[in-house]
Structure 1
């Protein structure tokens, strides 16, 4: 994890110097003429789940249809714990104010246009943004249009890049907050990679089995398979190598090895009892 990364939105205001060095704090999400208050709340939640929305002007609304959108009950309900991000959103009257200070501007639009900025896939656009954000004075802005009409040409044409999220061509209708969530995820992935703290400690993970434990398990399994006649030791073919290959893909844990040995043990006990009663 980047040592300058503020560890938690919930742990109080992050150190301002560390925040300034943290690339994601210099990502700005701009919503133009948003119609539905619930979408604004959902966007705040999407940003917070990806570690964005930490800094002032992380979320900027340009002329939302509801001027009191930040206090709208639907927006507050949909923020669902991201009330701080919602409350710190900035409302402006013009796109110039929203983009002030941005060094890279990325328009989100699927509509084909004859003219406009270079079109890149989302991951490529994010890669350019993150590369630029290595400079502490840089700021990247991602601009999203109205839910029904999208971004007007005059805003798209002034952006550095344009991207869109490839989807089912027969139903390419992403909700605004879904589009924001996907771009925020790509940003987080680009900054943290596979070591993002959100990917750690998710679900139960047991103690990995040792090579000795696994080898003992295979010996036990082989005895059990021979005992029930499933494996002919005179003509074993490739059964045991295939079982090894199958189980190698699972990343066996010590407890799982014990379970398999327990199964083999009871197979052997059952067969020996059956043979002894005959």
Structure 2
């Protein structure tokens, strides 16, 4: 299978030194795609503390980007891995990084989740993996975790599991690198530039489709915006498992438009 592109995404990071330390951890494992979402310091990539803690990985900082939204950070990514210290009561399955990466690269996830089909295996042959890390103080929000295909939890001392963000990046990057190496990927392997037509839609495209469906479901009275419960996160998980292609998203958005048009047409009668 073609080797996946890999992106590290830091959400609302508050310490410039941690950004530099993350860049160092990434470079040691051969990765260089780093995106920051709403960091505390807009100029964090150029701050002295970040450059000092990068310790020779300033090229990773130079390539890094700061963006305003998670959607921007996830553009082009097809498989999203949240990082959590404790399992959530709701949301994607929680696995150790090593176990999940083995399943992912062996293309065993559909069978594991009871969703196996030929289309699943074709689509999982083209991966663009995003590894998401929350703020140092609060971690990832439930909303951001719900967007992901899996929640990675590093096995730690059950009485003290607190990890510095750079340490967490180092451990997960190491396990991911080892998984890639076991599949002939070497260090920091990147996927070829060409992406076939059957490749799954990226996270931003899927998010836009779900936002459109939310509007349509409100319009037809299926979703009460005052009491949404967990309908949209459940739909997020459904489509994460399905891994729809861009063409399939166009169909789903067409259905949403038809729902909205039917409501407008009924009002105009």
Common topology (TM > 0.5): yes
1:204-245 CA-partner distances (Å, limit 9, x unpaired): xxxxxxxxxxxxxxxxxxxxxxxxxxxxxxxxxxxxxxxxxx
The alpha-carbon distance between structure 1 residues 88 and 108, as it changes in their structure 2 partners (threshold 3 A), is same
Q: How does 1:115-154 map to 2 (within 5 A)?
A: 115-131=90-106, 137-154=126-143
TM-score, structure 1 as length reference: 0.57
Counterparts of 1:72 and 1:37, CA distance in 2: 7
Counterparts of 1:160 and 1:41, CA distance in 2: 27
The alpha-carbon distance between structure 1 residues 100 and 194, as it changes in their structure 2 partners (threshold 3 A), is closer
Residue 173 (str. 1) matches residue 148 (str. 2) = no
Counterparts of 1:31 and 1:49, CA distance in 2: 18
Q: Which residue of 2 aligns with 1:191?
A: 180
Q: Which residue of 1 aligns with 2:6?
A: 27
The alpha-carbon distance between structure 1 residues 186 and 98, as it changes in their structure 2 partners (threshold 3 A), is same
Deviation for aligned residue 1:136: 7.3
The runs of 5 or more residues in structure 1 that have no matched partner are 1-20, 199-278
The answer (yes or no) to whether the contact 2:8–2:34 under 8 Å persists in 1 is yes
Q: Which residue of 1 aligns with 2:206?
A: none
1:72-131 CA-partner distances (Å, limit 9, x unpaired): 100000111111011111111111111122111010001332211011111122224444
1:175-231 CA-partner distances (Å, limit 9, x unpaired): 000000001101111121499978xxxxxxxxxxxxxxxxxxxxxxxxxxxxxxxxx
Q: How does 1:243-254 map to 2 (within 5 A)?
A: none
Counterparts of 2:87 and 2:181, CA distance in 1: 32
Superposition RMSD in Å: 2.5
Q: Which residue of 2 aligns with 1:41?
A: 20
Q: Which has the higher contact order (CA 8 A, sep 6+)?
A: 2
Q: Which of structures 1 and 2 has the bigger CA Rg? A: 1
Counterparts of 2:106 and 2:35, CA distance in 1: 23
Deviation for aligned residue 1:138: 2.1
Q: Which residue of 2 aligns with 1:216?
A: none
Counterpart among 133, 152, 170 of residue 163 in structure 1:
152
Q: Which residue of 2 aligns with 1:109?
A: 84
1:146-171 CA-partner distances (Å, limit 9, x unpaired): 00100001000010011111111222
Counterparts of 2:14 and 2:137, CA distance in 1: 8
Q: How does 1:46-65 map to 2 (within 5 A)?
A: 46-53=25-32, 58-65=33-40
The answer (yes or no) to whether the contact 1:104–1:129 under 8 Å persists in 2 is no
Counterparts of 1:78 and 1:101, CA distance in 2: 29
The answer (yes or no) to whether the contact 1:50–1:185 under 8 Å persists in 2 is yes
The answer (yes or no) to whether the contact 1:126–1:187 under 8 Å persists in 2 is yes
Counterpart among 55, 68, 78 of residue 93 in structure 1:
68
